[in-house]
Each structure stands twice: as C-alpha cells, then as structure tokens.
Structure 1
C-alpha cells in the first residue's frame, strides 16, 4: 500500500469519527490502567459490567489495595483469568501507592514494571490517558493492519513498528482507536463486512477479492 492510500484511509476514518476513544469506562488514568489490565482476553463489555460497581466503590489505588485479592475477586469473577488479574491488580496498586504517590507513571519503563502490564497495555495508557501517539496492537489491529496492507507484519511488534512508520503523523494519535473499532465492527475476523466498509477501495484484501470474482459472460 502506498502513502497516498494510507492518507486517504485515515482521512476517511477522521471524517467519520473525529474523536475516537476506548470503549472501556473509566474516570481517570488509574481506572483506565486497571480496566486495560482486566481487558486482556476479555471483551470491553464484560470489563465494564464488572468495573462499574468496583470503580464507584473502590476507584482509587488505596481503596482497591484495601480490598485485597479476595475482595477484588468478588467484583471481577465474571472476567476471564480473574484470579491472576486480581493478584496483578492488587500488586500494581501497592506499587502505585508505595512508589509513585498513588499516581499512574507516564513512562513506558515504569508502566511495564507494573504486574500485568505489558507493551500493549502501556501503549493504551500512554495514548489514551496521556495523549502520546503510541499504537497498541491487539488482535483486531493486527488483523486489520495485515488484511488491508496499512501496516503488515508477522508479529505484534512488527505490526506496531510498521504502523509507526507508515501512519501519517497527523493521524498517529487516534490511529489505535480507529483501527480497533474498524476491526471490531467492520473488518471482523471470519467474514469482513466489505460491503459497508468505508475504506474498501484502498484495501489490499478487497482488491484481491475483486480479482477472484468470476467475470460474467454474455
């Protein structure tokens, strides 16, 4: 895919959704961090259902730490891998309270040192909470980037690096959200909805699909 088509794609995303954001519900950077940790291998919907009461009643590092693993588990039991996540969240809260003044650190190194926080989670927090032009590659973004040709790569890191290289700077801040929403609702895994896709005319996959269609004979 050439630069001109990438620009057209992101111009189209921007026109359709000028201010994209995460579908996770949160009130501040701490709650966002916890929601993203909990969202690993889980849907945003399931996380939101679990965190509404949790954040309302225990929405600070101190209050969540006071819950302990068992107390937190009662709130997040409906989320996959809840035992491991409960342990990681409580350990993260302890580090935030004891080492960071109960504030979410703004550096990648400090974020990735927190239990349950990897590169993807750090990228989400840096982008959504702090306005950094990072791109967090999940399964949706990995699929969309390779299928469309926007940022192909064989690994998550390779796709992230390709997107950082090829996404025009003017669109890099919101690229993560546009791509994840596109993958979640349009460029879905089993049968992409090319008939309603706003960017199909520039998509490598769509072009290949057109070439494979039988030509009509008269």
Structure 2
C-alpha cells in the first residue's frame, strides 16, 4: 500500500505531474468533425465505450448530417441505427428531442453555455463539459466520467461518490489550466493501468503514493470496498 502525500493539494499536484510524463499526448478519443457530431457522440458514450461509439458513428454521421436530420428522423429508425449502443432506445429519444430543442431555441446551433446545454434532453454536466471544452474551447469545469470517479477515490483525492460532488471537490484542487487535461490523463491511466478490476499496481507510476495499492495489502480492489 502506498503512502499519499500530506495534503490533498500536494497529492493532486503530484498525480498530475506524473501522469503528464506518462501520457503527454492524451486527448479525447471520440471521433467527430463538428459540434453536432461531438454532442451526439458524447450522449452515446454514456455507459458505452468510446471504441464502440466510434464504430457506430462512422455510418451514423453519414446518414444524419444536420440538426434537422435528427429532429425529423423516425425515432424507431434512429434507435435501430444505434442498436449496438447501450440504452439505444433512450439515447435515440434524447438525440432527436435535443436536436428539436436546438432548432426551436438556438437557431439549430449547439449551445455554448452550461445552462443551455444541460437544459437539453440527455445532457448533464459531464456531457456539457465535454461539448464546451472540445466544441467551443470553453472550460467551465472538470469532466467526471467513470475513470475519474474511480481513480480520484482510489488515489485519496476525494471521498465524494456522486459525479457532480466529485467535480465540485476537484475544481479547487486542480489548477484551472489543467481542468481539461486532468480528465484525459485519468482516463488514459484508467484504461491502461488502473482498470476497474485487477489494476496493474506493480507497473503503476503512482503506486508509491496510492493508498489503494494492492501491493503488500489484502485489500480486494475489485470489490470496490476500498473506495
């Protein structure tokens, strides 16, 4: 078991520094070419891998190329076009209704504020943060996905459990200039090393400062009881 640094601020700073060294070029892994495609891809990515979403959107973005295309689509047909995505029926409804709302309230454009984005069906703070950061180059917060939730708790940076509470806890700790990249660093590390089950603690650059390390410990990381 590693020993975390004396304060959460110091722990966070060290985590960021080490992960920048490990993943210097990490960035968003969803494929998109405009803001609408980004919004659709992020809605689809909820509880679904980016790899699966990218496979699905390759043909989806050819068929549906505008806000009008989605808004006017038959919802059952749109759902069928998404049938390899988790919760595809719900997501089809979210996308269709969000696009209709953008036509009604935003001249068919993807909104550029947190309030307007989170007012769209199927869009919470996580999705809105991604769209703002990568679609509008506006950084208002920290994207908290499952990797960020898992790793920040394992590393002793937060004890919060809900994504919005974790985000609120992280924002004073993470330098604002690092808010966007912080998410990508943790996602890359969560995929490569600190996986949900059987994390590779022996090859982890953070092992010596990680209170959840399974080395020399009987803690069952896979159970989730340590967090």
Alignment partners' CA distance in 2, 1:61 and 1:19: 32
CA contact (8 A) 1:151 1:166 kept: no
TM-score under structure 2 normalisation? 0.84
Alignment partners' CA distance in 1, 2:49 and 2:62: 20
**1:110 and 2:116 aligned:** yes
**1:54 and 2:67 aligned:** no
Q: CA deviation at 1:133?
A: 4.8
**1:155 and 2:162 aligned:** yes
Q: Which residue of 2 aligns with 1:177?
A: 184
Q: Where do 4+ consecutive residues of structure 1 move more than 3 Å?
A: 209-213
TM-score under structure 1 normalisation? 0.87
CA contact (8 A) 1:186 1:194 kept: yes
CA contact (8 A) 1:124 1:134 kept: no
Segments of structure 2 that go 5 or more residues without pairing to the other structure are 219-227
**1:7 and 2:13 aligned:** yes
Q: Deviations over 1:140-160 (max 9, x none)?
A: 211101001123313222211
**1:141 and 2:109 aligned:** no
For these two proteins, the number of residue pairs brought into alignment is 211
* Greater RCO, CA 8 A, separation 6+: 2
Alignment partners' CA distance in 2, 1:98 and 1:84: 21
Q: CA deviation at 1:211?
A: 5.5
CA contact (8 A) 1:126 1:134 kept: no
Residues 100, 204 of structure 1: alpha-carbon distance in 2 compared, 3 angstrom cutoff: same
Alignment partners' CA distance in 2, 1:4 and 1:182: 19
Q: Deviations over 1:54-81 (max 9, x none)?
A: 1123132122223231331231011111
> Hey, which of these two has a bigger chunk of helix by percent?
1
Segments of structure 1 that go 5 or more residues without pairing to the other structure are 214-218
Alignment partners' CA distance in 2, 1:166 and 1:151: 10
Alignment partners' CA distance in 2, 1:211 and 1:52: 46
Q: CA deviation at 1:99?
A: 1.6
